[in-house]
Amino acid sequence: MVGVTSPGTDGVPDTYEGYAEGRERARFTDWLRERAEPDWSAATTHRFARELGSGDLDDAVFRQYLVQDYAFVRTLTGVFGHAVGDAPTMAAKSRLVDFLATITDDENDYFERAFASLDVPETTYAEPEPTPTTRAFEDLLERAAREGGYAETLAVLVPAEWIYLEWATAVDGSPEPFYLAEWVELHATDAFADFVRWLRRELDREGATAMPGRQRRIERFFRRTVALEAAFFETAYDPDATGGGSSR
């Protein structure tokens, strides 16, 4: 059945079948991204990303963000580990393992140097008090891994990484101080862009061949992730802020 359009998604059909009809090279991840509006644009062009890229971000805001992100990354690595177990080929498992090594090595080194420069004590970042948005995000990631398979796990991993590639590659120049510049660089490298493209291809394949009911579940996970990314940036300014955008 050809999909119908839904409010808030700019006329994007609510089924992948409807979206793909008449398109020579329809991509499942393009459909998901378009279905995730307006939250996708809210996340990728958020005030936080703009101020970070220009170097105008207040240290207190970045400190709050980084502590929460460090807590979130610990959950994210667990979900990547789950994806390794579910990946259909050894090549895919190897690709995911390589990225896990980057998170636990290069990115962790960045966090530790940034915390030292920002005067964040280890007692604060080792056992942070999660905001409501961080708790919601962690719950979503764990639920996708626990209740779904490879496609559902990809449905949260793809937007979580793709959004960062999107805003980071839009930054013009290198902001100061170093912890802003390096955070941009980590998410704008050719290697990271290539990994995100690979993740998208994995979800394109898995999603396009899934049954309609499963496609809808994948879409819900994807859209909720995008909404929480926007909310996560907002809580850097107001830790008590709740929400998660318009997509559910």
Tens digit of each residue's pLDDT (9 = 90 or more) over 190-238 = 999 999 999 999 999 999 999 999 999 999 999 999 999 999 999 999 8
- Each as own residue / partner, the long-range contacts of residues 104-109 (CB below 8 Å, 24 or more positions apart, any chain) are 104/77, 106/186, 107/73, 107/186
- Rounded to two decimals, what is the model's pTM? 0.91
Contacts of 21 (CB under 8 A, 6+ apart): 2, 13
Answer for the pair 41, 107: CB distance below 8 angstroms, yes or no: no
Answer for the pair 162, 154: CB distance below 8 angstroms, yes or no: no
HSE (CB half, 13 Å, CA atoms) of 209? 8
- Identify the CATH homologous superfamily for domain 28-235: Heme oxygenase-like (1.20.910.10)
Distance CA(97)–CA(84), nearest Å, equals: 7
Tracing tokens 């995000």 back to the chain, one arrives at 137
Q: In the 8-state DSSP scheme, what is residue 89?
A: S
The predicted structure's pLDDT at residue 2: 40
Domain locations in the chain as residue ranges: 28-235
Q: State pLDDT tens for residues 138-164.
A: 999 889 988 889 999 999 999 999 999
Amino acid, single-letter form, for residue 247:
S
HSE (CB half, 13 Å, CA atoms) of 235? 27
Which of 245, 152, 204 is closest to 19 using CA atoms?
204
